[in-house]
Chain A
Amino acid sequence: MERFARLYVELDRTTRTAEKVAALERYFASAPAPDAAWALYFLTGRKLKRSVATPLMCAQVAEEAGLPLWMVAECYDAVGDLAETLALLMPENLPATPPPPLHRLVEEGLAPLCHLPDQAKRQRLGETWRQLDSIQRLLSNKLITGEFRVGVARTLVVRALAAVAGLPPAVMDHRLMGPWEPTEQDYRALLRGEAEVSGPGQPYPFFLASPLSGSPPSLGPMEQWQVEWKWDGIRAQLIRRRGQVLVWSRGEELITHQFPEIRRAGEALPEGTVLDGEILAWRDEAPLPFADLQRRLGRKTVQGELFDPVLVVFMAFDLLEAEGEDWRARPLAQRRRELETLGGKPHLRLSPRIEAGNWRELETRLGESRSRLVEGLMLKRLDSPYGVGRQRGPWWKWKIAPYTVDAVLIYAQRGHGRRAGLFTDYTFGVWERGELVPIAKAYSGLDDEEIREVDSFVQNNTLQRMGPVRVVTPVHVFELAFDRIQASSRHRSGMAVRFPRIARWRRDKGPEQADRLEALRELLARQ
């Protein structure tokens, strides 16, 4: 634990990439494998099962610090990170004996917490905290809450570990994408010297498209491009190898069990096939809103589609492996031809190619996006190999222009993480019968200076406090952009907007010039 805490401090004390990688290399080169395995687990963004509910942790800290719960809540509101708040509130501790090593702390202290009744959990938490100093407490709290953000991108961890193992980063990246557990054995296997072929379950790194900034004609003749809809679902790889079917999300999560119908469809694929595609909720030959898919994701087990009114399909758009052979270096046109031979099934579809005579005609097709519930178009060079990560050039996403509405800032709340303590979470309203009705929450779109200005405005213009939420004088108008609008019975306005963000601050407008709810209703009706 001491070594891991030292690594955390080193990572936290620099904004330089090279120094972060050096600190990681030092750690992985020197830490015992059982500890390093867990460190890697957390640094690559994996989490322990959430074992202690926030109120329970707060209650234990409140008791140890002699504070009422409301004060703990006020502090959390100001600090923006639960683990950090609790570590700051706990009385100072200088343990007489060194802390347990990381693997023991996790395996014997933190992981078993979830099996304990509440009272025993609190007791165990207290015991764990007494073994640790304040930095170590901060860390162990972060491991419990799962908010383990240390400002280290996954690629840096990959780079450091690859250096320690003496392997190319791409090989390490691929190995880490596969299933491994934070055990000494798996960790050693990850570091093994020989660059062997991937294990049976591992997905390939995803290839990503860049947003199209110029106009499509700048991409040259249209014949060089393959065009598809940009689906709004879950990007995933469907893997059929060694008699097994696995579905991996782009977030590197194995989601096979949540989509049994896709697994069954995958069983019909030839051995040694890997497809890239998008999981979509589907009805009557058209996608359903993303929210319908999200419901499925939250589930631990899915009984079967008989009980689920929402059908799910895998919309395949690329072929990465055929007959056990890596096809990624081959041109898209060839991969596509092979993909088409696999044919379509009810739960395994082929993302159709969109035909258009020229760019102008394509732009007209783009206009259909909203009514088709897609985000726009994908443009892929027919000669492009399937690359790694985001490379500008071969793949572009051409999204539809968002809807916009002018709305008034009505509530504000303090942000979290990097925005801790500042009022950065805003709710906006539009007019309905002389009243401002909330229509969207937005967190992004302002620069640091504007955020500071709004923060100061909120502090000086609070009309009312509702817990952490401030009701502010409605004077500032912002242009909000959003991708779609849906009817919703859960919202007071009767509507929900998807991906709302702040497009700009309309300083030229007074609150009375903001939009009316009627305008949004018209958008909804037109869509």
Chain B
Amino acid sequence: MLRSTDRGLYCEAGGFYVDPWETVELAVVTHAHWDHARPGCEAYLTAEPGEALLRERLGPEVRIQSVPYGHRFRQGAVEVSLHPAGHILGSAQVRLESRGEVWVVSGDYKRQPDPTCAPFEPLRCHTFVTEATFGLPVFRWPPQEQVFGEIHHWWRDNQQSGRSSILFVYSLGKAQRVLAGLDPAAGPLVLHESVARYLPAYEADGLRLLPSGQTVPGPTLALAPPSAAGSAWLRGFGEASTGFVSGWMQIRGKRRRRSVDRGFVLSDHADWPALLATIRETGAENVAVTNGYAAALARWLAAQGRKAWVLETRRPADSDPEA
């Protein structure tokens, strides 16, 4: 049904690629992060709630067709449908069915609740192509209420010491999820323009993310992408404490390398228990593993009696949104 080619995962019977890393004629795109949605393809197909984000990323003149979640349609000899993956707004799993055989490509996904996107929908299939960004048992996420509690606590401490709080977040997806989880009455919030840029797409989907009401005076909390570290914009906040929100913050060395004061463990990817639970729920006998710790997860699954292998993907340099 699908094979790995040097342009990306190719469905020959359907004549399309899923998240190709080179330009192709038709790209079925699981979500708008740029390591999955490469510019330059002739046409894109994506889930309806993600269309606005994809357009924001790729430009107004690009050919994008979108379908509602769950809607089945024929593409060549294959029946295709897109289903929520719970990663970011509009993220989708790609379900492919041909002559009674079902494949599901997960794209990136998580199982924690997220008010900014539809929850992951478990699908039965014969072959499941799963991501493994955090495919090791050292990755077990704490409850997100606890993490938001830590963020608020840190924010309050900083306010009391009279300094700003700078929270580094990936600008699409993580930023909006964090924004939705923050208490807007806790103090003034400022968004870096690369975070603010995506808000209209979220608002079009019915989400109000900007704090309404009046803000409390005092030192600011700024949401900024990691690339803004050291920028003049950030220096404008004066004395500040820095935090980084990512699943990688589970590992101390990763945080120290970032030279931030605090690491907050919150990820838009599945952790180890969620990966295993999801694979089990699909009932898949065959599991192809991509990204991150694919080799370790595939070996683990094989030891549990599943047919599992690593599906090599070629990801562009420095592309991991969580890293």
Contacts and interface: CB of A to CB of B under 8 A. Distances in A.
Interface of A: 12-16, 65, 67-68, 70-71, 74-75, 78-81, 84-85, 88-89, 151, 416-422, 448, 452-453, 456-457, 459-460, 465
Contacts of A419: 253, 257
Contact of A452 (B241, B295, B303, B318): B318
Nearest to B315: A460
Given A74-B296, A85-B138, A89-B137, A79 B261 contact: no
B262 A13 contact: yes
B17 to A, nearest CB: 18
Contact of A74 (B251, B253, B293, B303): B293
B156 interface: no
Contacts of A65: 137
Given A14-B261, A15-B259, A78 B315 contact: no
Given A15-B259, A453-B318, A71 B137 contact: yes
A68 B317 contact: no
B67 interface: no
A460 B291 CA distance: 10
B300 A71 contact: yes
Interface in B226-269: 241-242, 248, 250-254, 256-257, 259-262
A460 B261 CA distance: 31
Contacts of B295: 465
A75 B299 CA distance: 13
B317 A456 contact: yes
8 contacts: A15-B242, A15-B260, A16-B261, A68-B303, A84-B252, A418-B257, A419-B257, A421-B254
Give the one of A16, A416, A420 with max B CB within 10 A: A420
Contacts of B318: 452-453, 456
A419 B253 CA distance: 6
A75 B136 contact: yes
Nearest to B314: A460
The 4 closest A-B pairs by CB, nearest first: A420-B253, A456-B317, A88-B138, A74-B296
A417 B136 CA distance: 18
Nearest to B139: A88
A465 B294 CA distance: 13
B243 to A, nearest CB: 10
A59 to B, nearest CB: 16
B249 to A, nearest CB: 12
Interface residues of B, number: 30
B257 A448 contact: yes
Given A14-B261, A15-B261, A75 B253 contact: no
Given A456-B318, A460-B315, A84 B261 contact: no
Contacts of A16: 261
A67 B253 contact: no
A453 B140 CA distance: 28
A67 B314 CA distance: 30
A456 B248 CA distance: 16
Contacts of B137: 65, 67, 71, 75, 89
A80 B254 CA distance: 10
Interface string B274-293: 00000000000000000001
Contacts of A457: 317
Contact of A418 (B253, B293, B296): B253
A510 to B, nearest CB: 19
A79 B296 contact: no
Given A15-B242, A453-B318, 5 more contacts: A15-B259, A65-B137, A74-B293, A78-B251, A80-B253
Contacts of B303: 68
A181 B241 CA distance: 38
Interface string B299-323: 1100100000000001111110000
Interface string B46-58: 0000000000000
B251 A84 contact: yes
A71 B296 contact: yes
B322 to A, nearest CB: 12
A195 to B, nearest CB: 35
B141 to A, nearest CB: 12
Given A81-B253, A420-B253, A74 B261 contact: no
A103 B242 CA distance: 34
B252 A12 contact: yes
A222 to B, nearest CB: 43
B251 A421 contact: yes
Nearest to B300: A71
A410 to B, nearest CB: 20
A88 B317 contact: no
Given A417-B253, A421-B253, A79 B317 contact: no
Contacts of B250: 88
A79 B315 contact: no
A70 B299 contact: yes
A324 to B, nearest CB: 46
A386 to B, nearest CB: 36
A227 B262 CA distance: 49
A420 B260 contact: no
A418 B242 CA distance: 18
Nearest to A422: B257
Contacts of B319: 456
Contacts of A71: 136-137, 296, 300
A465 B299 CA distance: 14
A453 B317 CA distance: 7
A448 B262 CA distance: 20
A16 B262 CA distance: 12
Contacts of A14: 241, 261
Contacts of A67: 137
B223 to A, nearest CB: 20
* From B138, B250, B254, B300, residue with most partner A Cβ within 10 Å: B138
Given A14-B261, A75-B137, A79-B138, A151 B256 contact: yes
A78 B256 contact: no
A490 to B, nearest CB: 31
Contacts of B253: 79-81, 416-421
Nearest to A84: B252
Contact of A78 (B138, B242, B314): B138
Which of A14, A70, A74, A75 is the most central at the interface, judged by chain B CB atoms within 10 Å of its CB?
A74
A213 to B, nearest CB: 26
Nearest to A88: B138
Contacts of A80: 251, 253
Which among B256, B260, B300, B316 has the highest number of chain A CB atoms within 10 Å?
Answer: B256
A419 B258 CA distance: 10
A84 B138 CA distance: 9
A81 B254 contact: no
A75 B254 contact: no
A13 B138 contact: no
Most A C-beta atoms less than 10 A away, residue of B251, B303, B315: B251
B254 A74 contact: no
Interface string B126-146: 000000000011101000000
B5 to A, nearest CB: 15
A14 B161 CA distance: 14
B251 to A, nearest CB: 5
A5 to B, nearest CB: 14
A65 B241 CA distance: 36
